[in-house]
Amino acid sequence: MGFAMGINYILQTGFAVPTEITAIAVTIGYWDPDTGHIPVYIAVFLLLSIGINLVGVKYYGEVEFLFAGIKILMLVALILFGLVADLGGVNGVYTGGKYWREEPFNDTFENLSPVSLARFLGFWKVLTQAAFAFGGIEGIGVLAGEAFNPRKTMRMAVRRVFYRIVGLYLLAVLMIGLNISQHSPDLLSAVSKGGSTAASSPFVVICQQVGVKVLPSVINAVVMTSALSSCNENVYAVSRVLLALARQNSMPKCFLRTSRLGSPYWGVLVSFCFGLLGFLSISSGSDQAFTWLSNLSALSSLIAWITICLCYVRFQRALRLQGLDRRNLLLRSWCQPYMAYTCIASFSVILLFNGFTAFIHSFDVSTFFASYITLPVFALCVVGFRVVKKKDQCGVAHLEDIDLSHGPEQALRNTRYDLTATHGLVQPVIKA
């Protein structure tokens, strides 16, 4: 299961690399509508992201810190701007919750009838894209291997991620829903001219509605840095997961090699190969390529979270079996293990039915492929690993054998999973 999870996470973050690169090319379309320039933009920003990951984790962290600061400041500014615009403080027109009352659902989704079916399937379609939008949060665990004093820093980081999602991300989505109709002609005209161009960015549409002319360019510039930051994170994740699998003898030893700056360059090269998929936008359109790749990444993200929750459920059972009180843990989640069960059930349903649009009207092979291909790949990895490693002890550990008496540093000491072993790898900085 661990090997399959590693491969799945590589696919999740790997497919996200060309997705974000394509998003950058789409954003630049706001200033340069010439689609012939898209390959150039894809190549430039892909090489830039690869370069950032090759200079070492120290400089990578500095770049990401800068990008994070820009994103947070812009989100706060956009939330305040959206609130002022909704209350009529920009153009004198009060909107309030008008769009939520008059058109809460999409009644014309895929021109289906009756209206109740269109509303339900329109809502269901959004769930897959929402999974892609929230995917990657679990990547904070990948960073723990190179963090200073991970017991302290990871605790702070996880809490900050939660509050930023609730306080910034969801509030930004709320402002968009309050200010823009889902049938806005600005959104629809942008889509009809070639897909999800930067002109259809919701906050850009808000600016156009209230007559603000300068802000759209600033917004799109920040969106570009946000997409580049996300691309950098996914390149980082691919290289580190490959390195971890190689340490467990589950990947070729070449992925153990690092540069003088500590970057696992063979893993970064694999990320570069994933990034080349961004050139699909040349033939199929950047909007279609973005949809395909984001679906592939979202599907892997759902599998990842289902697996994480399954592991957590087993952890809870091991605690009870070994007579340990969950209340004594340093970090605890709310309403567990019930939230884990809810996550497993809901994500499994979304996973199985996320490709329903492939069956509407006429069968769409490409949509079906993008919606479900990761499932057989994950199953093949599980079965294949068991077959290849049948001579080794592998499989699900018994609950009574799970080591709960030591922290990860001590429990893994002198094993092939030892985070502090010297194998020419990136060395975590551990405070004595």
d(CA 208, CA 220): 13
Q: Model confidence over 71-117: pLDDT tens digits? A: 889 889 999 999 999 998 888 888 888 888 887 777 777 777 888 88
What's the pLDDT score for residue 406?
Answer: 59
294, exposed or middle or buried, with CB in 10 Å at 0-12, 13-18, 19+? buried
Structure tokens at 264: 């696992």
d(CA 98, CA 112): 25
Which ranges of the chain have pLDDT less than 50?
192, 194-196, 411, 416-432
Q: Rounded to 5 degrees, what are φ and ψ at 283?
A: -95, -35
d(CA 294, CA 18): 9
Residue type, 138: E
Helix (H, G, I), strand (E, B) or coil at 274: helix
What's the pLDDT score for residue 95?
Answer: 85
d(CA 207, CA 140): 34
What's the pLDDT score for residue 417?
Answer: 47
Structure tokens at 394: 């592998």
CA angle, residues 107, 362, 301, in degrees to nearest 5: 70
Closest CA to 75 of 200, 11, 177, 170: 170
CA angle, residues 352, 196, 166, in degrees to nearest 5: 65
What's the pLDDT score for residue 45?
Answer: 93
d(CA 168, CA 387): 46
What's the pLDDT score for residue 431?
Answer: 35
For the CA atoms of 107, 112, 117, 121, the dihedral, rounded to the nearest 10 degrees, stands at -80
What's the pLDDT score for residue 422?
Answer: 44
427, exposed or middle or buried, with CB in 10 Å at 0-12, 13-18, 19+? middle
25, exposed or middle or buried, with CB in 10 Å at 0-12, 13-18, 19+? buried
For the CA atoms of 82, 84, 88, 91, the dihedral, rounded to the nearest 10 degrees, stands at -80
What's the pLDDT score for residue 429?
Answer: 35
What's the pLDDT score for residue 190?
Answer: 52
Residue type, 147: A
Helix (H, G, I), strand (E, B) or coil at 202: helix
Domains of the chain (ranges; CATH) run 2-411 (1.20.1740.10)
d(CA 71, CA 228): 11
CB 203, CB 173: distance < 8 Å? no
